[in-house]
Chains A and B, each alone.
Chain A
Amino acid sequence: MIVAERKTIEEIKQYILPYKNILLTGCGACVTVCFSGGEKEVGILASQLRLLCKKENREINIIEQTVKRQCEKEFTMELENNLKKVDAVICLACGAGSQFIAKYFPTKPVFPGVNTKFLGGTDEPGLWMENCLLCGDCILDKTGGICPIARCSKSLLNGPCGGSQNGKCEIDKDIDCAWQLIYDRMKLLGREQELETIQPIKDWSKSRDGGPRKIVREDLKL
């Protein structure tokens, strides 16, 4: 899932200063699961902003709406009725969600309420870790299901580097050395010999170096 983190209230406060009627939108997908932009977080932020404005004797009307997925037109369009009633939108969905509002409602100012951080998972309640860098050319088959691109601080293909100490990364002693994890897992699978093969230079054109990416499926087009 996409993991996001709410922006500071100070930042959000600056966005809404010129406006009186705000739509606060949430998304029922990834940001709900990582507790940064679901229905509950929309309620919490709305409550905070109402209290803040009351404290500063400023009038504000906030409408709250959370849709199933903000990265799909049919769900984004559900915001249309409420969007007509407001001057601006604070979006707690990921960057894609904010952009969908900007795309389908071009005359309405939209501001991000979260920083979209990474693609990862919930390691334990309250802890989210990065697992994938969206490089577009998956090599998990060669690395025991552990991604060195996302989880090695240097994205090494033929690791580990000299900074690996007692299974931890030199960047931070709380970060596991991905190549230690890869070696341990490959050994467990009886495949550690495969790590002797030198991996060639990665083709980054399949990643962001190739510009914004798209996938087309003609069979699914209407």
Chain B
Amino acid sequence: MNQLGMENKNSDLEIIAFCCQYCAYAAADLAGSMKIQYPPEIKIVRIPCTGKIDELYLLKAFESGADGVMVAGCEEGNCHFLEGNIRAKKKVGYTQGLLSEIGIEKERLEMFNLSASQGKKFAQIANEFTERIKKLGEGVK
């Protein structure tokens, strides 16, 4: 439990991380193997490619109570399906606009790019994003 970092969960924040199975999901797994802690607020949803991300998935996450949503995909140019991550970037940008329209801070949604070998970077992104959401406070509950 200690190594999973659960004792550090000092907020009721929920952050959903949609992670591509070819990179970010593997990086999160690697972070675990390397015993690098990342915030327990982060809940990972494995997806086959960030290109599968849909505006509706992202909005539904917020509707279900998520305070922040991150989409983590492969580095640009390295998508397993060639350009899924580029499409995801556009969809994330569009959804940020949908959130702004209804007065929800667009910073609560962000796309990140990393490779499967970057366990440390995944933890760093997770930490920074969680800090950002903590500063923004609770979302729409």
Contact = CB atoms under 8 A, between A and B. Distances in A.
A47 B56 contact: yes
Nearest to A13: B102
Interface string B118-141: 000000000000000000000011
Size bracket, chain A contacts? 10 to 19
A8 B56 CA distance: 18
Interface stretch (B14-22, B43-51, B58-66, B68-76): B58-66
A84 interface: no
B55 A44 contact: yes
B140 A51 contact: yes
Contacts of B62: 47, 51
A44 B99 CA distance: 11
Interface string A12-47: 000000000000000000000000000010011001
B102 A48 contact: yes
A47 B69 CA distance: 15
Given A47-B60, A51-B59, A8 B101 contact: yes
SS class of chain B's interface: helix, strand, loop or mixed? Answer: helix
Contacts of A168: none
Contact of A47 (B63, B103, B141): B63
B98 interface: yes
Contacts of A51: 59, 62-63, 102, 104, 140
B98 A43 contact: no
A47 B59 contact: yes
A44 B60 CA distance: 9
A50 B65 CA distance: 12
Nearest to A126: B90
Nearest to A47: B59
A55 interface: yes
Interface of A: 8-9, 40, 43-44, 47-48, 50-52, 54-55
The 3 closest A-B pairs by CB, nearest first: A47-B59, A52-B102, A9-B101
Interface of B: 54-56, 59-60, 62-63, 98, 101-104, 140-141
23 contacts: A9-B102, A40-B54, A40-B55, A44-B55, A44-B98, A47-B56, A47-B59, A47-B62, A47-B63, A48-B59, A48-B101, A50-B63, A51-B59, A51-B62, A51-B63, A51-B102, A51-B140, A52-B102, A52-B103, A54-B63, A55-B102, A55-B104, A55-B140
